[in-house]
Amino acid sequence: MSEKRNDDRAEHEIDLVFNKVMACDAGERSRYRLDTMPGTHAGGVVQKRWREQEVRPEEMAIEAYGRMTREGAGMLVVGDGERLLGYLQPDDLARWVEVGTDLWKTPVREIMNGNVVRVAPTTQLSLILYNMYAQGASVASVERDNRCLGFIRRDALEKSLRHLLGGEDVQAPRDSWELHLLDELLDVGVIITNERREIMYFNSCLSHLLSGKGTPRIGDDVMEYLRSELNEDVFHRLSRREHGVAGEERFEWRFDGRILSCKVQRCAETAEACGFAVLLRDVTRERLEMEKVKKLALRDPLTLLANKTLFLERLANEINRANRYGGSLAVIFLDIDDFKYLNDTHGHLIGDRVLQAMAARMADTVRESDTVARFGGDEFVFLLPNVNSDESANRFIRKIQEEIRRPLNVDGRVFDVSISVGYAIYPWDGTTAESLLSLADRSMYEAKRNRAAKKRMRRGGGQGLSAE
């Protein structure tokens, strides 16, 4: 349910974004005649001398404040010489001072505004401005090969577009506030591309999910960031779908220690615009929880050994393997002697502790290829692949008996535990799971009866022996 709810919210964001983004890429350029005007892409209005306004992230905030005051700068950009990392404005510094921040001891990186839209030099101005509004950013970094070529301020961009449009006002899209709110709340990464797979929009969650691959840029080919995870054929297949037919493909992969769920879908098409949406979601916690639930469903909750369901599944697999390749296996039934008496005398809590200790000893005696399971109560079953003789089975049983016979200390009480054991070997004693388990169970109870008879004879002396 959680995954579907997140997808539904992402679908809502896509519906809001797609038509507006595509309008910026096509319709608005035609309406504003921006595609025929000079200087209508990022490279035409970028401030290239950005390093003259640069401060380093490790500088103290008071130094940036002093520089801003001396130069009367309306903005300083924060960079490392190669990339633009964020920016500072006088209002930002004033807010930090109001909350008691010590500018003498605070580095710029802790107070800078890192909300920067990253674009390619050929990105259309209308599209850059749209993403600035949608992401609530005041600065766009124009980049090539992960190097900053310069930056564009939103107020300067609005002024440039106003000039290009002959004084016509440039206004934020009516839905930009809703997009910005969704961008803050949505935990699904969203990328919108045109039909050429060029990124037209992405949200902040996407930047976080792909942090190890670098920050995406508006105008870049989406495959630059997902080439190792997605095949270009995905987009070709979706493009070939019949007109008006929705299509999507889902994938899942591991990245940077996380499990990411990916859905690629073709957006609704019109005569003017079509494109793709890529949704990414971190499902690591959900998958780990599912694995945990699955593991618990196949484990005995008291001893954490395999339960009956898991044992029968593995037994069926081993029988199939032995049948195919001519192998063998042994099934061994084990029952703790007089466990009911121990439970009734010392209580169920002590009885559970004894079962847990016995289970741990049994687990220590088996090979990695073996399986030991608790069938219920004080009954345990072993599956031993590649055991093909009575001698091999008895050798393992003696090993188990030696391990179990060691005195067991539980809460200061010492218990001497004994067991009854029976076994069956595939294929000589049976060729199905039912026949092997039945024979091993009967063999175990026969051993238990023999032990009880010997015990009675010891207690009765010669009378018991002569009675036999």
Residue 231 pLDDT: 65
For residue 159, pLDDT beyond 80? no
Which DSSP letter does residue 73 get?
Answer: -
- Token pair recorded at residue 193: 């591309």
Q: Name the nearest CA neighbour of 27 among 120, 123, 127.
A: 127
pLDDT of residue 313: 93
Residue with the two structure tokens 């493009």: 239
- What homologous superfamily is domain 299-467 in, according to CATH? Reverse transcriptase/Diguanylate cyclase domain (3.30.70.270)
Q: Pinpoint the alpha helices (H) of 371-432.
A: 390-405
Q: What angle do CA 34, 40, 43 make, to 5 degrees?
A: 160
Judged against a pLDDT cut of 50, whether residue 341 lies above it is answered with: yes
Domain 2-288 is in which class?
Answer: alpha beta
Rounded Cα–Cα distance for residues 185 and 205 (Å): 9
Q: Which residue has the higher pLDDT, 254 or 390?
A: 390
What pLDDT does residue 180 have?
Answer: 54
Of 285 and 49, the structure prediction assigns the larger pLDDT to 285
Q: How confident is the model at residue 320 (pLDDT cuts 50, 70, 90)?
A: very high
Cβ distance 141 to 43 under 8 Å?
no
Residue 420 clears pLDDT 70, i.e. is over it? yes
- Quote the CA–CA distance of 127 and 134 in Å, as a whole number: 10
Please tell me whether residue 268 adopts helix, strand or coil conformation: coil
Burial, 380: exposed, middle or buried (Cβ in 10 Å; 0-12, 13-18, 19+)?
Answer: buried
Cβ atoms 231, 255 nearer than 8 A: no
pTM over 0.75? The answer is no
Predicted local distance difference test score (pLDDT) of residue 166: 56
* Sign, CA torsion 339/341/346/347: positive
Q: Which residue has the higher pLDDT, 14 or 293?
A: 293
Distance CA 159, CA 161 (A): 6
Q: Which residues contact 87 (CB under 8 A, 6 or more apart)?
A: 75, 76, 77, 78, 112, 113, 116, 138, 139, 151
**What does the domain layout of the chain look like in residue ranges?**
2-288, 299-467
Segments of 320-440 assigned E as strands: 329-336, 371-376, 379-385, 408-410, 413-415, 419-426
Contact assessment for residue 7 and residue 261, using Cβ atoms and an 8 Å cutoff: no
Per mean pLDDT, which of 78-92, 244-258, 433-447 is the most reliable?
433-447
- pLDDT over 80 (residue 401): yes
Which of 244-253, 298-307, 459-468 comes out lowest in average pLDDT? 459-468
pLDDT category of residue 36 using cuts at 50, 70 and 90 = very low
Pairwise CA distance, residues 10 & 187, whole Å: 9
CA distance readout (Å), 398 to 16, 391, 392, 402, 420: 72, 11, 10, 6, 11
Using alpha carbons only, give the angle 226, 238, 263 rounded to the nearest 5 degrees: 50
